[in-house]
Structures are given as structure tokens and as C-alpha cells.
Amino acid sequence: MNNPSNNNTYVYLYSDLDKVESHRKDWDAVRGLLGGKGANLADMTRLEIPVPPGFTVTTEACNAYLAAGEQFPEGMWEQELKAITAIESATGKKFGDAQNPLLVSCRSGAKFSMPGMMDTILNIGLNDDVVKGMVEKSGDARFVYDLYRRLVQMFGSVVMEVPDEVFEAVITAKRKEKGVASDSDLSAEDWQLVTTHFKEIYQTYTGSPFPADPLEQLKLATEAVFKSWNGKRAIDYRNAAGIAHDLGTAVNIQTMVFGNMGSDSLTGVAMSRNASTGENVIEGDFLYNAQGEDVVAGIRITQTMDELKQEMPAIYKEFSDIASKLEQHARNMQDMEFTVEQGKLWLLQTRDGKRTAQAEVKIAVDMVEEGMITKAEAVARVQPSQIDFFLHPQLDPKAVKSATVWGNGLNVSPGAAVGKVALDADIAEKWAKDGEPVIMVRPETKPDDVHGMLASQGIITSRGGRTSHAALVARQFGKPAVVGVEDLTFDWTERTIALDGITLHEGDWVSLDGTNGTFFQGEIPTVVPSLENPELSKLLSWADEIRKLEVWANSDYPRDAQKAKSYGAQGIGLCRTEHMFFETSRLPVVQKMIMAKELSERKAALAELFPLQCGDFEGLFKVMGGDPVVIRLLDPPLHEFLPAYEELMHDITDLKMKIQHASELDQLNAHLDKLRVDEDFLTRVEALGESNPMLGTRGVRLGIVYPEIVRMQVRAIFEAAVNCKKSGVDVRPKIMIPLISHINELKLEKEILEEEAKSVLAQHNVELNYEFGTMIEIPRAAITADELAEVADFFSFGTNDLTQMTFGVSRDDAEAGFLVHYLGRGLLQDSPFDTLDQKGVGSLMQLATQRGRSSNPDLHIGICGEHGGDPRSIAFCHRIGLDYVSCSPYRVPVARLAAAHAALKDEQNS
Ligand code: ADP
Ligand code: MG
Ligand code: MG
């Protein structure tokens, strides 16, 4: 151990951190070797923070032990013994000595924290002789026997796997016998008897006596930590958390300090800042006269750090100085364990604290302002998914604090939902229609259940994992969900659900938190954290300084555009004009236009639509000021605007019946009129009918067959633009022609449309900055992008269609059918409609970008598919050099941050 050239060093004293660093390339590697807990204990030691002396047995020793079939690697045990000697001289105590005994704890600690992997064993080194000596010397038998029983209990349950309940039952019986409520009210004699009893239990369960030799205790405890790495608990945890299985765990052996040595002793845990709000105040709990996990075990009511401040101001001051020193050092909020032994403060652990999204943002921003971290670090620290927190309602944290969790499962879709239990999709839908909030609770969900899921506030299922149908659909539609609640049972005759002895009837209230996978009985109030949070605005403004991609939004209506702009959108990347055609008041005119038998008739209908369209565009332009607005010309096949075939057939049969039975002439005439209209519709629907509308007469094809429709749209766009310009509003219209696959389509279309544009401008004698461009959503367009770019001013990737056409699947059919199987069986890692398929669809995008720019270096390129709001897809768009991403308004803040992350990553790599 004292020979750094020996590469079989398995044991490092906390005071030997420099030795580790001399042969590890960075802190990450140090943590890899010593584990997070060990590395930080050594680091605190170097910072001269009071840490009880100790040492770490490395993760490499653990791996060697496991690889050798549970044999300590050569030299390891000898090194451990030497390290014990070193602590003995540091503390002036001796392991196993009855007069002045050294006691130690044995704590596991992997590179990444794995809660619940192996419990810590305190007070190693006690035996009957040592206990006797300690009692004589300290005169405090209660204290000593409390330590002893803890050792036997922890050693028994953790190392030898004696069920802990057996031990706990003895203590409970003792409390009853004595008529006391709390462990701390038991006497020395009580603990002595409990210890004797514990040793008997130990002997019964393990077949051998409790080991009296402290070195034997140490050895078995060390081995137990190594073995725990491959325990079921640990493996399950690693699988769930995505932690590699070959890291191994380190073992920390550390001098005991005692928080249970009387009223000037205590033990506690504290965060350097508030983990829920991020406020810069120390928050924590402590207990007088307690040891180890008593604070978190909930056996006694804890006290707050404010109370510590009042009752032990000097200790509090020392602790708060240490907390800020540790924060400065780690440049992050810290979660610390501490103990005060007879008025002396000791730190036992520190690590970066877990916190809510809100606290994450506030802490990051505050730390920049305190000069602790850079803006870029603050931006990098907040994850785009955390921005979701500010967009979804949350259960009111205050109410949650006083509620008890009823159950938990997998947190597959974030956000809070509160509603009445509905046990099937039809009920869910029915109640929702009546205005009741519902939570659909099912064993699992199937495509037939989607209508119920859509009607629900949230979803709970007892089966299924992260890629179950329920999880997939919930995420896709932004429904908070908890799935895989295995112990939840259903009674279909009583229509009840039960869990942990609690039964709820259909219609009872539940509240769920999809962010952490918990749910509660009853109705918990919700709060919507605001995007107008000042810290978030600041953080996003820093993200804006960093990112290279512009962030635009998809908005069809001025009110959405307004929202998008307030979230920071720099333009409209997609305005879908068909929504304007679908509006109830306009649909009859649109239908008249479609039904027209003659061009003149159609033009008359279009003339009626024209002023309405003008108004639509004017609204958008006004909101966006001088920012670009991309307007996509009519895209869907025309039959979508007519009644559905089945509906017409049904109505016609119905009308014919009514006509046969009509008794009054007026009635008969009305029916006959309606029949004529329906039959006309039917003829037209039949004529327009296509066997594959998705691949039929839509997009630019529509514009080529019915040029008068798109001409009207373009005229409306330019009239609106001219009007705005005249009233002093700057405008930048960009006309986007959808579904191009061949250059000739684009040439023809652009020619007739630009002619229209020019005529409007000439008529008003106005000049405008406008552009014509195309969507890239068919593979052929991507491949021939160099040709298209000679005509187009801009490209926008319509990645929904591009994904459909590249995979040769229809999204609706995939999502209602086979996609769940594909994801469940791992054929696809992610739905290509959620996150860009970089290899396939992404390659086409990259190719189109390169080819497009090769023939038109000024070509402006963006993406307007939903992928434009997905952080991974955004990173890809950054890498291939797009100019902007466009997403739905409420994804804009997420996209701003994700784009900044992509840029930061770039910097790191260069
Ligand atoms: P976990 O990883 O589960 O938090 P720890 O190893 O941190 O486990 O220890 C469990 C509890 O025992 C903590 O409260 C810790 O502070 C306490 N503890 C561990 N080692 C010692 C020690 N040497 N002296 C006093 N308390 C200790
Ligand atoms: Mg623990
Ligand atoms: Mg701990």
C-alpha cells in the first residue's frame, strides 16, 4: 500500500488520495476505483474537513474477488490489516482492545449510488471483553449495550442474512414489556438482555456463535459487501438504472463516531440547499442521542436544522461553513451525513444532492450568480426533460407531504393527474364526456382502450413495463401514467381495486404522479409551475446565447403563435392551412368548392374563402412581427373535407326509409332535398376515393390538379402581407409547397404561384421579402435535393411523412398495431415517430442538406415534424447543420435548451 509502483494496491487510506490520483486520469476514474462514497470521504479528508479516519478497499479488489470465485486477491487482506494499523495510530485506539477499543463501520459504495444494495454495519470490533472494558471505562452501560446489540443485529441481518424482523420483534416486545414508546427509553439492562437474545437468534439461524474476533468480523463484513454486488437487489437496481454490471463496489472501513453518547451527541442528514425549491438555505433533520440511520428510519420525530442553529450555534456554524466549502469544491448542491459526538462535529458522507426540476433550475442559476459555475455549466446541468416539469401540472408538494403514498410503479409518463377511478375505456370516456376527470385503471391496455386513455387525465396499470402499450400511448399523448403496479388487484364483479389492504370502488378519487411513479388515494390538489419562472427565463436566455440552431414553432392560429413567441420562438416553421378549411363555419363553403361541377362555380366558392384566409394570415403576421412565417399550402386529400363514405351510406338508407313513411308533404320534400345532397356527396366521395389516400392526390399533386385553390391561398397570403406592411408591420412570408418528389412539380407550381404573388405586389406597388420553398418528406425529394434547391429558397423536413415513406409504414396503422410488438421485442429501440431514426431517415436528411447546399449555398434548412421538439432529434439536427428546428409551442423551451446542449457537446468534442 505504501508502494505506488505496485499496481496490486487494493486498499487506500482516506489520507492517501494523492496516491490514487497519481495513476488515475481524472476524478471520474478515481470514483470508479474508490466508489463515490470513498472518493468523497478521501476528498473531504484532503480538504481538512473532520472525517473519521478510514480506508477504502477498491472496486478492483471486489472484481478480483468475484472473478476468483469469492477469494480475496493476493495481498489484499494483508493490506487491509496494515490499513487498520494505520487507523489505530491515527486514532490512538486499538482494534479488539478492551481498554481503548477502535470500532469501525463497514460501508459499501459503488461508483454510482445504489440505494439499498447493502446496508452498513456499524460498531465492528465489539465483543464481550471489549464491551466489558468500555462499560467500565465509560460508565455508560446503556450506550455500550445499544452499540453491541446494533452490531449483532446488523451483522446478523446484513452478513448472515438473518431476517431483520426477527431482531426487530425482540425490541418491540421489550418496549411493550417496559411500557415505553421509544427505543431511547430502554435501559442498559434492557439492551443487555436484548443483546443476549440477539446472540441466541444469531446462533440459531447461522449454526455458529457470533464471531468474537474483530478481525473475523471485519473479514466477513468485507466479503459480504463484495458479494452484495451480485445480489438480486443490486442486479435488479442496475438493470433498472442502466448501470454497468462490471463496475464492482468498493468497501469503506471507517472509525466509528458516536451520535448516541448522550445529550451533546446527535446524528443528522442535511442538504446544502432546499432540494424542493432550490432556496439557498441548509435543510435537514437530526436526532439527539442516535446512531446511523435512526434519523431516516422514522422511529423518533426528528428535529430541524433551524433547531440545531438555536441549540448548538457553534456546531451549526461549523457545519454551515463546511457545507459551503463542500459546495464550492463540488460546485454543486451537497447532501451530507454528519454526527456530533460529545460536542465534536464529524462529516460521514457528502454527495451531489437529488433535487426537483424546479430546484435544479434555481440552484444552477443562483450558482452562476454566486460566481460558482459558468453559464454554460448551468445550462448543461439542467436536462431538457426537466423543463417538462414547468409545463405539466404537479401534485401540490405541500399536500403530498401530508399524504401517504398508496402505491407505486414505473414512472413512464411525467406529470400529475387526479380523477375518479374508471375501470374500463368506455366508462372513462363516458364520465369524461360528462365533465368528470377520470383516471383509467386497468391490468393493461390494448389498442381498443385508446379512446378511454385519451379521455382520461391519467393511467394506472398493474402489468407492463416501460414499453408496454399503456406506457407508449401515455407518453405519446402526454398523459401522466404509472404502469406495472404488480400488487394491484381487480375485482370485476364488485368493480373495485385493491392494494395493501385498501380497496377503492370505481368512481373513488385517486391522484397520481407520473414523474416518480407514485399514486395516492383521494383528491390531491395540483399546481402548475409557471414557465414564467424568473430563473427558468434566465437559464433559457443563456441557452439562447449558446445554441446555434434557431427555434421556431408550428402554429396554425394567432393565439398559438402568440404563445410560441412568448416561449421564445423565433419564427413559425409550419402553419397548416387545412385547419382553416375545417372550421365549422367554413366547411360548407369548402365543400361547395369541392363539389363544384364547373370551374366558375369553384372560383365563386374560393372567392368566398379568400377574405377569410386573408384574415387568418394577417393575424399570424401581426403576431410574428418581422419574424419568418412558413405557410404550407393545402395538403390533405379533398375527400377529407367531405362526409365519410360510411356515414353517407347510413344517412341515405335512413332517409329512404323516412321518405317511404313520410306523412306530410313538407317533410317529404325536406327529406328528398337532403337525399339529393347526400347522393351528390356520395358520387363525389366515390369519385375522389382512393385506395391509398396517404399516397394519393394530396400535397403538391392537389395544387397541380386544382391550381385555383393554391392560387387563392397565395393571393390571400400576399394580400395579408401587403395589408400588414401598409399598416407598418414587417412581414416575411415563406410559402411552402408540400410533398414534392420531382423537380418538375416544384418548377411548375412555383411558376404559377410566384406569378400570383407578383401580381398582388404589383397591384399594390409594394415590395416584400418573400420566399418559396418545399418540404422534404419523400425520399426521392431528399435524394434529388440538389435539383430542388436550384428552385427552392428553403427546405423544411417533414419528418413524419419522411419517416412513414422511408420505413414504408403508415403511422396510424403502426401505432394502433404492430409498433407495440416491435418495441416490446426490441426490434426497434424507440418509436421512429417519437425520436428521429438517425440511421435511416437521418441519413436522408443529411444527404438532402449536403446536396441542397451544394447547388444553393444560401439554402435555409429546418425541420417541422414533431421530432423538432425531441431533444435527441434536435441534437442530430444540430450535427447535420440545419438552421432551425420547429416544434409545437409548448416544446419551444425544451428545444431551446436541447439546442444549447447540442452546441455545448460540439464544443467539448472539438
Ligand atoms: P447508506 O449508503 O445507506 O447511506 P452509509 O454507509 O452512509 O449507508 O451508512 C448508514 C448510516 O450509518 C449513515 O447514517 C451513516 O452516517 C452512518 N455511519 C456510517 N459509518 C459511520 C461511522 N463510522 N460512524 C458513525 N456513523 C456512521
Ligand atoms: Mg442506507
Ligand atoms: Mg449514506
Query: pLDDT tens across 221-263, in order?
Result: 999 999 999 988 888 888 877 899 999 999 999 999 999 988 9
From atom 14 of ligand 1, which residue's Cα is the shortest distance away?
A: 292
From atom 6 of ligand 1, which residue's Cα is the shortest distance away?
A: 107
The three cell numbers locating residue 802: 419522411
The three cell numbers locating residue 546: 449558446
Which mutation among 41, 95, 107, 157 tests ligand 1's pocket best, with the greatest number of atoms within 8 A of CB? 107
> Which ligand ends up closest to the CA of 124?
1
How high is the pLDDT of residue 688?
85
How high is the pLDDT of residue 249?
97
Q: Does pLDDT of 1 surpass 70?
A: no
How high is the pLDDT of residue 727?
95
Regarding predicted confidence, which is higher, 580 or 748?
Answer: 748
Nearest atom of ligand 1 to the alpha carbon of 109: 2
Tell me the pLDDT tens digit for each residue of 592-649.
Answer: 998 888 899 999 999 999 999 999 999 999 999 999 999 999 999 888 888 888 888 9
Regarding predicted confidence, which is higher, 139 or 323?
Answer: 323
**Distance of CA 295 to CAs 267, 284, 287, Å?**
7, 10, 6
DSSP 633: P
From atom 24 of ligand 1, which residue's Cα is the shortest distance away?
A: 256
Which mutation among 45, 348, 350, 354 tests ligand 1's pocket best, with the greatest number of atoms within 8 A of CB? 348
Tell me the pLDDT tens digit for each residue of 65-117.
Answer: 999 999 999 999 999 999 999 999 999 999 999 999 999 999 999 999 887 77
Mean pLDDT on 383-401? 86
Sign of torsion over alpha carbons 328, 330, 334, 337 = negative
Nearest atom of ligand 1 to the alpha carbon of 258: 25
Contact 731, 779 (CB under 8 A): no
Tell me the pLDDT tens digit for each residue of 485-499.
Answer: 989 999 999 999 999
From atom 15 of ligand 1, which residue's Cα is the shortest distance away?
A: 292
The three cell numbers locating residue 758: 407578383
* Residue 469 known to be catalytic: yes
Mean pLDDT on 541-556? 97
Tell me the pLDDT tens digit for each residue of 811-832.
Answer: 988 887 888 889 878 899 889 9
Lowest-confidence range among 396-410, 622-636, 720-734? 396-410
Q: How would residue 5 be classed by pLDDT, with cut points 50, 70 and 90?
A: very low
Extended strands (E) in 163-258: 249-255
From atom 12 of ligand 1, which residue's Cα is the shortest distance away?
A: 292
Nearest atom of ligand 1 to the alpha carbon of 52: 23
CA distance 772 to 756: 12
CA of 518 to the centre of ligand 3 (A): 24
Q: Which residues line ligand 1 (CB under 6 A)?
A: 52, 105, 107, 120, 122, 254-257, 292-293, 337, 339, 348-349
Nearest atom of ligand 1 to the alpha carbon of 259: 25
The three cell numbers locating residue 543: 441557452
CA neighbor of 759 nearest in space, from 711, 726, 791, 708: 711
φ and ψ at 264, to 5 degrees? -100, 20
CA neighbor of 897 nearest in space, from 390, 241, 372: 390
CA of 43 to the centre of ligand 3 (A): 16
Which mutation among 34, 45, 112, 120 tests ligand 1's pocket best, with the greatest number of atoms within 8 A of CB? 120
Mean pLDDT on 188-205? 96
From atom 26 of ligand 1, which residue's Cα is the shortest distance away?
A: 292
> Which ligand ends up closest to the CA of 347?
1
CA distance 515 to 531: 18
How high is the pLDDT of residue 297?
67
The 3-state secondary structure of 187-202 reads CHHHHHHHHHHHHHHH
User: Which one of the listed residues 106, 575, 864, 877 is annotated catalytic?
Assistant: 864
Q: Does pLDDT of 2 surpass 50?
A: no
CA of 349 to the centre of ligand 3 (A): 6
CA of 127 to the centre of ligand 1 (A): 21
Nearest atom of ligand 1 to the alpha carbon of 108: 6
* Residue 877 known to be catalytic: no
Tell me the pLDDT tens digit for each residue of 664-721.
Answer: 888 899 999 999 999 988 988 888 888 888 899 999 999 999 999 999 999 999 999 9
CA of 324 to the centre of ligand 1 (A): 22
- Looking from the CA of 135 toward its CB, the CA atoms found within 13 Å total 18
The three cell numbers locating residue 35: 466508489
Q: Does pLDDT of 118 surpass 90?
A: no
Please state, rounded to an integer, the average pLDDT across all residues of the chain.
Answer: 93
Nearest atom of ligand 1 to the alpha carbon of 291: 26
Which mutation among 337, 338, 344, 347 tests ligand 1's pocket best, with the greatest number of atoms within 8 A of CB? 337
Tell me the pLDDT tens digit for each residue of 835-861.
Answer: 999 999 999 999 999 999 999 999 999
Q: 622 by DSSP, 3-state: which?
A: helix
Question: Helical H runs in 229-268?
Answer: 232-241
Regarding predicted confidence, which is higher, 412 or 795?
Answer: 795
Tell me the pLDDT tens digit for each residue of 550-578.
Answer: 999 999 999 999 999 999 999 999 999 98
Percent of the chain with pLDDT over 90: 76
> Which ligand ends up closest to the CA of 113?
1
Tell me the pLDDT tens digit for each residue of 336-353.
Answer: 999 999 999 999 999 999
From atom 8 of ligand 1, which residue's Cα is the shortest distance away?
A: 120
CA of 269 to the centre of ligand 1 (A): 10
> Which ligand ends up closest to the CA of 338?
1
How high is the pLDDT of residue 298?
63
Q: How would residue 467 be classed by pLDDT, with cut points 50, 70 and 90?
A: low
Q: How would residue 7 be classed by pLDDT, with cut points 50, 70 and 90?
A: low
CA distance 659 to 656: 5
How high is the pLDDT of residue 3?
44
Q: How would residue 769 be classed by pLDDT, with cut points 50, 70 and 90?
A: very high
Tell me the pLDDT tens digit for each residue of 23-55.
Answer: 999 999 999 999 999 999 999 999 999 999 999
Q: Are strands 54-57 and 11-13 parallel, antiparallel or unpaired?
A: antiparallel
Q: Does pLDDT of 585 surpass 60?
A: yes
CA of 247 to the centre of ligand 3 (A): 19
User: Which one of the listed residues 62, 106, 469, 901 is annotated catalytic?
Assistant: 469
Q: Does pLDDT of 275 surpass 70?
A: yes
CA of 68 to the centre of ligand 2 (A): 28
Regarding predicted confidence, which is higher, 241 or 272?
Answer: 272
Q: What is the residue type of 774?
A: T
CA of 297 to the centre of ligand 2 (A): 9
